[in-house]
Structure 1
Amino acid sequence: MSDKKVLLEIKDLTKYFPVKNSLLFKGNSYVKAVDRVSFTINRGETLGLVGESGCGKTTTGRTIIKLYEPTAGDIIYDGVDISKYSQKQMLDYRRKMQMIFQDPYASLNSRMTVGDIIGEAIDIHGLAKGKERMNLVQDLLKKVGLNRDHINRYPHEFSGGQRQRIGIARSLAVQPEFIICDEPISALDVSIQAQVVNMLEDLQNDLGLTYLFIAHDLSMVKHISDRIGVMYLGRLVEIAESNELYSHPLHPYTQALLSAIPIPDPDESAAKRRIVLEGEIPSPIDPPPGCRFKGRCKYAKPICNEQDPELKQMGKDHFVACHLY
């Protein structure tokens, strides 16, 4: 992937949320949701981001697109650092960067028609008016597999899969280059998930899109991603090309995640060794010094208590943050 042009570069991205004073937390306390995360995404590729619930992957996506203001770090989009841009300065970048949200119902305004939901961004950016706007919205509906006459209906009249298609059409309305897919299939029936993922792949090929695909379904992430990053408690612990990560996981946490993927063949499933992690996930308000995974890692060494491991290269495009290497 190194010969491709980098579209997005994230350097030490950090997002802390202040915690209000209470009986448990007094003074200046913060939830360290994302802590010094760095990676790149090449133009036209899909980077998958996986990890347990609460690991910070969704916050990472929302901070990149500046729905959350970053606490620290750089967000370099196509060579320009936008991390400190105001909302007014971000307006042009809203056309280039879009987001598909996890809940296809909560993310759609129930009092607006499908035509107005999809057309709202078109109006904001002044891309089309009148009949041209209507034709553009109808073409977007067709592109995501819906009927053109759905334009005057409301979100409650659609199934979950159809609502997610509406959300995808909305993200495409301003002709973006980069889309953050925040668990876009987790709220859908299993029978619909593959259809939506295949559609995203077709749209990527047709429109030249670049994706950050956030999910916890490891099998689906492997299917759609060129590279995969693994997050744990706000930190990126491993990143590699998809096949390389699944064939040769290095970080003990990655190994445990992959061992939990269900296998449909009963014999293979019975023979597979499941890695069960013991211990509890530390609090993101007061993470332990050194390696954050040490309390659940059977390979922990004294240095794990003292130093927070940094990402180091272990092979072509394969990086891991672990003192075992």
Structure 2
Amino acid sequence: MAPDLQALLKNWGLGTPREISAPSNGTNNWVRLVRFGADRYVVRVQRTADQRKVAAEHRLLTELTRCGLSFEVPAPIPATDGRTAVATPAGLATLCRQLPGVHPARSEREMELAGRAAGELCAALADLPLELAPSDWRRPLDTIRPEFAELGDLFALLRRELPGAASDWLATRAPEIDRAMEELRQRLPVQIVHGDFGLSNLLVAEGRVSAVLDFEIAGIDLRFADLVTALHRSAPDQVTAFRRGYAAFTVLSADEEAALPMMVRHRAIGSAIWRAGVWRAGHATLEDVRVRLEAAHELDRSGPIVTV
């Protein structure tokens, strides 16, 4: 269900925008870019998040704006009644100023810039109390989406809808990796992390990262989780550049380095499960699920590239 944008904007005392467009990426939320003269805003409707979680995300963003970061993060603009999230039939709506920049390419230079931003954000989030986290990701894979009460339900569904080697592999491998991650989370440092640190959530301008976007799934996890998100889809030269930038702010211990391959595998499987839940909720296609499932299968088979 698409919201009535004109009616929605009235909550912030805004009239008819001069220009409306949709971003080229993103499937979890309904997003529109609106322009009023020189003023540009982003309207986002979160389809599945509840009021508590969105309020926690906004508190975290407020704290990050005080950390002296070299880049910006979205700052929710209060509606005329003071709310930073407005309830609509389609979900909770927020308004932020559109931040400057374009999404980076996967060039060596821009991958290094992205790595620096990830390392800087990791260091800043390490200083914030865990109570600010909107979510806690130290939990089993079968709890990351509400559409599946148990992993067995998901395995049966995928074997029926996407029969083949990848679905059979997931049913065997996911429980093994889940147990390994539980052990790692008990002995390695945890903190608040972004949760979806990819190039689609970065902006660059004038030779630097100008903004880090979309803290919707920020939460508590192993402190190098955002590094892992960037690594699991990257080529060797991209990994080298990203890690060079990351190390300027955050250096991993030997135990964390050893844990990287397992967490990359876990991230890939979690991504497939997350997308399957979004599909069951009616906001993604079965093809989206297939792509992520087969990518996770291939990564596990070939082995993740974590350092060069």
TM score, norm. by length of structure 2? 0.24
Greater Cα radius of gyration, structure 1 or 2: 1
Structure 1 or 2: more helix by fraction: 2
Structure 1 or 2: more strand by fraction: 1
TM score, norm. by length of structure 1? 0.23
